[in-house]
Structure 1
Amino acid sequence: MVDLRIASVSRGAKITIVVNGQACSAFEGETVHAALLAGGYRVLRKTVKTGQPRGIFCGMGVCYDCLVTIDGVTNQRACMTMVKGGMEIRVDE
């Protein structure tokens, strides 16, 4: 899996999350949004009406475009949720 993080930035402890059944690296202190973006995920969901792809837009919890399923709970905002080791995330591909 790709890691698009800036190498020189100091981070918390490295943890593993699971995205659509695949292990993905994350770091304590970052959001689900940051971990998904660094892992190369750009589309997080598709609209119900038209199936248009949606990803990160505002990154601060206002737009609701980053909704994902976390540990079986649907419609969680990726930009407002901190990662935890072993967290299972589902995004539309």
Structure 2
Amino acid sequence: MRIKEHPILKFDYQNEIHFTYNNQAMIGYEGDTIAAALYDNGIRHFSNSVVHDRPRGLYCAIGNCGSCYMRVNGVDNVKTCMTLLEENMVVESEVSVASND
């Protein structure tokens, strides 16, 4: 899901970052937010709505909505759309979600 070639823009992806999401090994790149790396790895289901328990994905990507909250390195309610990915991060959904929703 990542743009790798573009007729005008040049993307220089370097420095792979390894992390886990719900115990699955994943790879992102330096400069990625957690949410961008998850999206690039095919993860679309980030959380569930509080009232109706409906699936939520990446929504605003600017830290306002809360749809992207996850547990990161044991800390709950981390805004993954605003948090840069780091080597060996442990990212977990705060709700029970299938890994490829």
Gap runs ≥5 in structure 2: 6-10
Letter of the structure 2 residue corresponding to residue 7 of structure 1: K
Runs of 4+ that moved beyond 6 A? none
Structure 1: state its 5+ residue gaps: none
- State the match for 2:87 in structure 1: 85
Give me the TM-score of the superposition, normalised by structure 1. Answer: 0.89
The residue that corresponds to 2:8 in the other structure is none
Backbone CA RMSD of aligned residues? 1.1
Q: TM-score, normalised by structure 2?
A: 0.83
Q: Give % identity.
A: 32
The aligned amino acid for 1:6 is: I
Decide which structure has the larger Cα Rg and report it.
2
Output the amino acid matched with 1:32: I
Between the aligned partners of 1:44 and 1:56, the Cα distance in structure 2 is: 7
Which residue of the other structure, out of 48, 60, 63, is the alignment partner of 2:62?
60
Contact 1:12–1:29 (Cα < 8 Å) also in 2: no
The residue that corresponds to 1:33 in the other structure is 35
